[in-house]
Amino acid sequence: MAHNLACRLFIVIALASAVALPVPQPGAQETFDSVWLEKLNKQLMDEQDCEVAFYVRLNEGELGGRKTMEARAQCEDGRAFDASRVEPEATFTIRACDVQTC
C-alpha cells in the first residue's frame, strides 16, 4: 500500500515538473517565445507586482491570421495570473486566477 502511494506521488511530481516552465533568464538562449515572455514578465511586475517563478502553461497560435499568445504565470508569492494577447495589441490582458466554485 505504501509503495503504491509512493508511486502515485512520484507520478504526480513528475507530471507537475514536466508542465512547469522556468522564467527565461537574461543571456539565456533565445527561443521562439522569449521576446513576448520578457514583455509579459515586465507587464506582470509593473501592473501586479508579480515576480514570475514559473509558467504553468504557454500557448502560441493563430486566430484570423493574427498571432495569439496565452500563458498562466505563477508568482513567487503564490498568486497566479492568466494572460493573453492577440497581435497587433501591444499589451496583455491579465486576469487573476481566483478560487472558483461551481
CA max distance for the chain:
55
The pLDDT value recorded for residue 101 is 55
The pLDDT value recorded for residue 56 is 87
CA distance 37 to 51: 13
> What residue spans define the domains of the chain?
2-96
Per-residue pLDDT of the chain (102 residues; tens, 9 = 90+): 544 444 444 444 444 443 444 444 443 334 445 788 999 999 999 999 999 999 988 999 998 999 999 999 999 999 999 999 999 999 999 999 877 655
